[in-house]
Chain A
Amino acid sequence: MSSEKNNDVHKIVDHLFRHEAGKMVSVLTRIFGFKNIEQAEDVVQDTILKALEAWKFGKVPDNPQAWLYRAAKNKAIDVLRRQQLKYKIDSDISYLLKSEYTLAPALNEMFTENEIKDSQLRMMFACCNASFTQEVQITLMLKTLCGLSVKEIGKAFLSNEETIQKRIYRTREKIREENITLDYPGADAMTQRTDAVLKTLYLLFNEGYHSSHPEKLIREDLCEEAMRLCLLLIENPKTNLPQTNALLALMCYHVSRFGARLDDKGLIILLKDQNRNQWNKFLIEKGNEYLSYSAVGNVVHDFHLEASIASIYANATSYENTNWKLILGMYDNLLSRTNNPMVAINRAVVLGEAEGYNKAITELEKLKTCTENCYYNTSLAEMYMKVGDKETARKIFGKALELTSSNAEIELIRRKIKMCS
């Protein structure tokens, strides 16, 4: 009896409810239409609640996923019949919902594996519609595709629930006003629209990877969600572009260092000082694999360069043995394509390692627009430290200290200041 119960507990995999909620919202929104997304979300919440009630005493069905889908389908059919929503919906399958002959079979079809993935892709394109701001795009993705609640999104962005709630409310109005649908982009717009999705996934990932959020778990969750959605794009031939593979490679390399970025007290460990044995070898190999898939065609995307840079770092045996000259060349290329100041700062630091720290100082001093950026100041101070000018380094670290509110960063800078005296 007890071992049977044990198995039951393990049948519920990590984030099952969250991930299945994301899938079901995508499918049901496709059925109800984008403007009726609230109804889709209500059905999903009822479904998950029903599962919680039915399973909590320890009896989990053999196939929890199928159970959830069956419950969601039944609930959706109820809603379609009872609320006559079927006459207000306009989705690509709405004609199938108007007759009892086709209603149930159509819903069954929508909940098959391929159609679920298809719905998720449509939802990704819809979330990244050009009429939404970048902020809205990320919020919508987390809400609809990743199953995060308003509260959880607020927490992830260190923003309050009300702000996110208002953002979602306004977005829903916009969906109705502009009649944004879950249609697939045409073949001619596919690459461009996929690039828009990739950009949003990149920002979502960075939010998790670079944010100064105090909770490590939340940051890792955002990265994991971004990777999961990127993988979905790779699984579909239409969106499996070279840049999609490059982005996933980049994510794999970054995440491979998660375990080595913080010490047991939660303090930041810089790349130079990280224990490379703690880097996740499996993820580095995955990164190498996707990077090799990305090397087709004749278009070089920013993600190719960023992934290549990350790959050199990830595959170097030590900080000293890193091929700085090669990285510098890639940064030069990247910088010529973008005027992103963070790229310029990173490039200057790499220049320091490749050609001498004085050169890096000269380059950094030229970046006048970055002087109020914490990372800029810590990078510059670090270079002054390296050339032995502790006095100047200390002053600049002092300025950096005023530009961050992250406890981990404050602690790191304080340690640096101590080293300068």
Chain B
Amino acid sequence: MEKFLYLFRGGENNAHDMRDNNLSPEEMQTQMQKWMTWMKALGEKGILVGGEPLQVTGKQVTGTKKVVTDGPFIEAKEIVGGYLIVNAKNIDEAVEISKGCPVLEADGKIEVRPIQSMEM
């Protein structure tokens, strides 16, 4: 088993899209229920290692001078809205599993990255 990182971008993490689409409370609840159902399934199958949603604000610390700036300040769609770590046999399986994620239904995207193992 290998570990993989999912980075979520866009989808319903994007508050502006939500407002433009005028999602109703009921629709947002349905959306959330889908996430919970998906996460629960991952948990029960032993796939889920962990993960958290991220707030859209933050700081950036850069370079040798350790310059601190506010926020990611990139296009809202490109902000990482959350991450998960999952167990999978290989990258293909990790990609297959990610296809069930509700972020895709909201037209978001998932970056699937193998986590570098220390045992080479």
Residues on A lying within 8 angstroms of B by beta carbon are 1-2, 5-6, 8-9, 12, 15-18, 20-21, 44-46, 48-49, 51-58, 60, 147-152
Contact = CB atoms under 8 A, between A and B. Distances in A.
A101 B74 CA distance: 38
B36 A15 contact: no
10 A-B pairs with least C-beta separation:
A149-B24, A17-B25, A56-B35, A21-B25, A17-B29, A58-B39, A18-B25, A18-B26, A147-B25, A2-B44
Contacts of B13: 53
17 contacts: A2-B44, A5-B44, A8-B36, A9-B40, A12-B33, A17-B29, A17-B32, A45-B19, A49-B28, A52-B12, A52-B29, A53-B13, A57-B35, A57-B52, A147-B24, A148-B24, A149-B26
Given A49-B18, A49-B28, A9 B37 contact: yes
A58 B40 contact: yes
B32 A55 contact: yes
B39 A5 contact: yes
Contact of A53 (B33, B51, B53): B53
B36 A18 contact: no
Contacts of A151: 22, 24
| Main secondary structure on A side of the interface with B | helix
A27 B55 CA distance: 27
B98 interface: no
B43 interface: yes
Interface residues of B, number: 30
Nearest to A4: B43
Contacts of B40: 2, 5-6, 9, 58
Interface string B41-78: 00110000001110100000000000000000000000
Most buried by A among B15, B25, B28: B25
A52 B28 contact: yes
A387 B84 CA distance: 72
Interface of B: 12-13, 15, 18-19, 22-29, 31-33, 35-37, 39-40, 43-44, 51-53, 55, 81-82, 84
Given A9-B40, A18-B24, A46-B15, 16 more contacts: A2-B40, A5-B36, A5-B44, A17-B26, A18-B29, A49-B12, A51-B32, A53-B12, A53-B81, A53-B82, A54-B53, A57-B53, A58-B43, A148-B26, A150-B22, A151-B22
A62 to B, nearest CB: 16
A15 B43 contact: no
Contacts of B22: 149-151
B25 to A, nearest CB: 4
A20 B32 contact: no
Contacts of B33: 9, 12
B115 to A, nearest CB: 19
A12 B25 CA distance: 13
A9 B25 contact: no
Nearest to B13: A53
A289 to B, nearest CB: 30
A12 B37 CA distance: 12
B27 A149 contact: yes
Contacts of A45: 18-19
B30 to A, nearest CB: 9
Contacts of A58: 35-36, 39-40, 43
A150 B98 CA distance: 33
A6 B44 CA distance: 10
A252 to B, nearest CB: 24
A58 B84 CA distance: 12
